[in-house]
Amino acid sequence: MKKIIILIALSWVFNACESSKFKEESNYSSSYSAEWPMATSYEIFVRSFADSNGDGIGDIKGMTEKLPYLQDLGIKGVWLMPIHPSPSYHKYDVMDYKGVHEDYGTLEDFKKFVQRAHEHDIKVVIDFVINHTARDHPWFQESMKGPDNPYRDYYVWAKKEDIEDDINKKETALDSDNIEQWHEAPDNEELYYGYFWGGMPDLNFDNPEVKREIFEAGKFWLEEVGVDGFRLDAARHIFPDERAADNHAFWVEFRNEMKRVNPEVYLVGEVWADMETVAPYLSGLPALFNFDMSYKIVEAVQRQSNEEIAEYHAKVMNYYQGINPNYIDATFITNHDQPRSMSQFDGDVNKGKLAASLLFTLPGAPYLYYGEEIGMLGPKPDPEIREPFLWKEGEKDVYRTSWIEAKNSNDDTVIPAKVQRDDKESLLNHYKRWVALRYKSEALSEGRIVAVATDNQQMAVWERVGKNERVLVIHNLSNSSQAVSEEVARKYDLGNRKIIWGNIKNNELGARESLVFLL
């Protein structure tokens, strides 16, 4: 009888405080204001984002003209995929470390973009791809001319028999586990090393001149152009895996060199590996992308199971912050190398909303991949996850790029940003509300995560505990309504707590809905 009375009481209290999430959020006030890099950032593939001149290719001027859109979304930083001259569409094979690809515009265009972005309170981070260059880079063209060329030692060359000897001995200093990573060059007896493929020869960072060139290029972008930092591509492959300590030391040296120009330089690294492999990079790279949490978010939505998200994230953060107390966890749902989340969710907008809710209630500095906020689709191969952004409907969309036929994200499958902006229940506005809430919540932006035990694996429950604010987060991961457990409701006295996200009726949280209580 006592249990029934408690449940009735809880149901009445929850009913009494039921309200629209829009009303609750507008009533939430805080003196806190999240600052970048803990505020939300946005990854842009310039080629697909916004075309200013009608040539079908996204460009810097188009991106500049769309800064108000990013500001309205609440974005405080942009990460640009490579913008350097390159023979490929994706530009991860650089031909000039101090240039801008002519399809995108000029260096002056980019300087103006950086200036305008800063005027919109948006920081600019560029992809810096230094593990390798393009095969067409002038350095490599010189390097192929023979062992006596001064650029020969800018890359890694070896005789085939020596490579095979090293592989057999398993004692190589050249990362030769796979002979297929060694490539032939015209008129050369030696092979050159390219970890990713023959079109991307690896630079030789045992050569001090290579280091000097790369450090000089980094300082150029910070000092002459004014960017705020770099996303470091393939950061674990500067040296071979068996020389991991050299990798770690390199990034400490790189960071120190960049700080000579900008003491506040922001570096975020791509180290796609397990936690133990990632951790030593924290001494040089204060921010790293959390790929494991990306997978866990997607899996939680797909499996309707909490996947012990809170417990795992707490473990990761405790481990990393034990090495670097100022570590920044760069979180995301998917990026330019992964199938778009909405394709993994079969286009289900409610699943897309739940993934966003999970991302924004977890610790870290969240990144959005362009178009994620409007539900763009795209499976592998890579070009299909990098299709044109949809600004308006059909022929009205003068900024939409056309460099590739959009097989997945088009007017038949994705509602353009302009249309979603006017729909309060759209995915875009769902993202905007989360960005805004996180912006003014110290607990959601900077608080540590504390898992809250629950017997219902279709519910994910955790606390976020900041210095001056504490909240309780509850996610219903299932496709049906779920009751908030009596134990959780009593423990936190939820009937007397302010809801700052979501609503509840009769003690039940709707399918794939979320609640955030101010404690």
Residue 293's Cα: distance from chain center in Å? 11
Instruction: Give the DSSP H or E segment for 251.
Output: helix 244-259
Residue 375 CB partners (closer than 8 Å, separation 6+): 342, 347, 349, 352, 414, 415, 427
Tell me the Cα Rg of the chain.
25
Residue 456: CB atoms within 10 A of its CB come to: 16
Q: Starting at the edge strand that comes first in sequence, how are the strands of the sheet with 157-158 ordered? A: 157-158, 191-193, 182-183
CA distances from 139 to 142, 224, 239, 487 (A): 5, 23, 19, 66
Distance CA 242, CA 309 (A): 32
The one-letter amino acid code at 251 reads W
Q: Give burial (CB, 10 Å; 0-12/13-18/19+) of 378.
A: buried
Measured CA to CA, the distance from residue 270 to residue 52 in angstroms comes to 31
- Cα(448)–Cα(453) distance, rounded to whole angstroms? 16
Residues assigned a catalytic role? 233, 270
Name the residue type at position 291. F
d(CA 271, CA 317) in angstroms, rounded, equals 16
Q: What's the order of all strands across the beta sheet hosting 498-501? A: 448-451, 459-465, 470-476, 514-518, 498-501
Cα–Cα distance between 450 and 461 in angstroms, integer? 9
User: How far apart, in whole angstroms, are the C-alpha atoms of residue 256 and residue 275?
Assistant: 24
Neighbours of 156 (CB within 10 A): 24
Beta bridge partners of 475: 460, 514
